[in-house]
Chain A
Amino acid sequence: MGGMLARRAGFSLLSLLLVSACLFLLTRAIPDSPGRIVLGQDATEDQVAQFERDHGLDRSVGVQYARWVSGIVLHGDLGRSFITGRSVGDEIAKTLPVTFELVVVAFVFACVFSLAAGTASALLRDTVVDYGVRLVAVLGVSVPGFWLALILIMAFAVDREWFPPGGFTPLSAGFLAHLDSIVLPTFCLGIFYMAVLSRMTRSSLLDVLGQDYMRTARATGLARWRVLIYALRNALVPVVTIAGMSFGYMFGWALIIEAVFNINGLSRALLTAIQQRDFALVQGVVMVFTFVFILANLAADIANAWLNPRIAMAAA
């Protein structure tokens, strides 16, 4: 198992390196110099040249990339913003916690509900419960989160003032106010993956429960709930893989949800950076997202190897 984990981790690192090189090349491949774009058409050639010297843009792309990567690895330094000159790391550190909280809460919501709903739906197959769960699952995958957000804002924030229509109340302003401000965003963010995961849990659990060894387990007199525990352990293997990917993907959708609810998270930072064409910041934010995504996939692999030792054996 150790060998398999080391290999997977090594490969994740390699992917990150390859993908970051790709991103770096693309940001440097645009015909206009970033200096020209940031300073505008009125800037003189000297000013642009000075800007490029200041940000190390006069070096070759390879040297720039090597410096960027070594800065991240050695000093945890993601570079400086082209516009404000502030550290990209600090900018991200300011806004990431908000996004991270939204995603974690939505993820936990999606996992807990999908596990419960999927299991209930498989055990009570072809009953009202099953039909209900399946209907919610179909709706959940079909309704885009940001549209749901608009509709829920109209229904529960404007027509009935149950929740604030947007904004993010920090925890320091009171727990309840904080909770109120994240209910709608996390629901809109989590519902899609709740639907996906509950569908998967249901079908995977039905597959496992139909296996011969499950009948044997029952025949040996094992209690129903013990059998269910064993069945779930096997059934969750594919679900965990998708859950790990979902966690990474959720950061992407969080961008859109934050934009709808006017939440000052990483999304605001990224979209502002895009508007100002602050490539250093865009590059930093995208790298953080990609890192989280790869890490989440790796975590899912580890969880899978733990749930099903055969996977680890096969890969080793």
Chain B
Amino acid sequence: MMARVISACGGTGGFIGACLMFLLIVDALAAPWVAPFDPLKVDMLNALSPPDAAHLFGTDQNGRDVLSRVIWGGRASLEVSALAVLIGGCGGVGLGLLAGFFSGGWLEQSLMRVLDAMASIPLLIWAIALVGILGVGSVHIAGFTFGNEVKLLALLGVLYIPTLARITYTTALGEAGANYVAARRLQGVSGLRIMLSDVLPNCLSPVIVQATLLLAIGIVIEASVSFVGLGVQPPWPSWGNMLADARNYLFSGEWWLSVFPGACISLSVVAINLLGDGLRDALDPRHSTSALTA
């Protein structure tokens, strides 16, 4: 049983990555119960106290518990990157599948040209500039209020589309010419139905691998954008805006403010990369190029 799980993750590395990821996700989901303190509760008498038994990661300039803020910050990070990958995945797989399956016509040409043009957008700069243009602040949609990070995740999601579409397109293009598709056609099954129920499942492996890598990139981008003040807005914590606060304490020796949030970013990225590498070995041995570029 255990051996099966490990091999499904693509070996020991992938398994360790999967376990770490699982921990991070549970931690993020259960933040309200796991965090020992309220992440927003100010306690000026206890400001900037180093790590001890009560506050394992110490407290920040307002006396807030760093451990609790790190846990809640992880929630924000995972939320942004996971939803962005979800948007990019739906859009990318949909468009790539259409262009690849109905290839050789105006649909393929126009879709792929637009996606290629979108791929020439530098992600981070556009994310920063567009959030800047839209203005920092909460978003109100249909009576619900969302934090500023909603803009970031929507932008990231849209900018992820070309990458995932290109991968789906390449695979779908190959699958569309396969014999089983011709056989299904002879059975009288409609093109759309073949595309969704036969071709789509065969295109997913490389997409899943790429999506894991984009998840890692999303975490780093969320942290970076929050770091320059355009992502998650204070007082709500995110790993990035905690590091922005920590920048003011580099010279006075409060090391715990910068070490812990950053270590969490690195740990999540290591976990996701391990899992991604493992999944690639398990699912998609042909594509061995790393896409760790943002």
Contact = CB atoms under 8 A, between A and B. Distances in A.
Interface of A: 11-12, 14-16, 18-19, 23, 26-27, 30, 138, 141-144, 146-147, 150-151, 153-154, 158, 165, 193, 196, 199-200, 203, 207, 238, 242, 245-246, 248-249, 251-253, 255-256, 259-260, 270-271, 273-274, 277, 279, 282, 285-286, 289-290, 293-294, 297
A157 to B, nearest CB: 8
A12 B120 contact: yes
B132 A203 contact: no
On chain B, which size bracket covers the interface? 35 or more
Interface of B: 114, 116-118, 120-126, 128-130, 132-135, 220, 223-224, 227-228, 230, 243, 246-247, 250-251, 255, 258-259, 261-262, 265-266, 269-270, 273, 288-290, 292-294
B288 A144 contact: no
Most buried by B among A11, A23, A154, A279: A154
Contact of B120 (A270, A271, A279, A290): A290
Contacts of A27: 133
Contacts of A16: 120
Interface residues of chain A: helix, strand, loop or mixed (majority): helix
Contact of B250 (A158, A253, A285): A158
Closest A-B pairs by Cβ, 3 of them: A274-B132, A147-B262, A252-B124
Contacts, number: 146
A18 B106 CA distance: 18
Given A249-B294, A271-B128, A294-B120, 17 more contacts: A11-B116, A12-B120, A23-B126, A30-B135, A138-B273, A142-B269, A142-B273, A150-B243, A150-B250, A154-B258, A158-B250, A158-B251, A203-B288, A242-B293, A246-B293, A252-B128, A271-B132
Contact of A282 (B133, B228, B266): B133
Contact of B121 (A19, A165, A282): A19
Contacts of B269: 141-144
19 contacts: A18-B114, A23-B126, A142-B266, A144-B266, A150-B243, A151-B262, A153-B250, A154-B255, A200-B289, A207-B288, A249-B124, A251-B122, A253-B224, A271-B132, A285-B129, A286-B129, A290-B121, A293-B121, A293-B122
Nearest to A148: B262
B242 to A, nearest CB: 11
Given A18-B117, A30-B134, A270-B129, A196 B262 contact: no
A166 to B, nearest CB: 9
Given A144-B224, A144-B269, A150-B243, A26 B125 contact: no
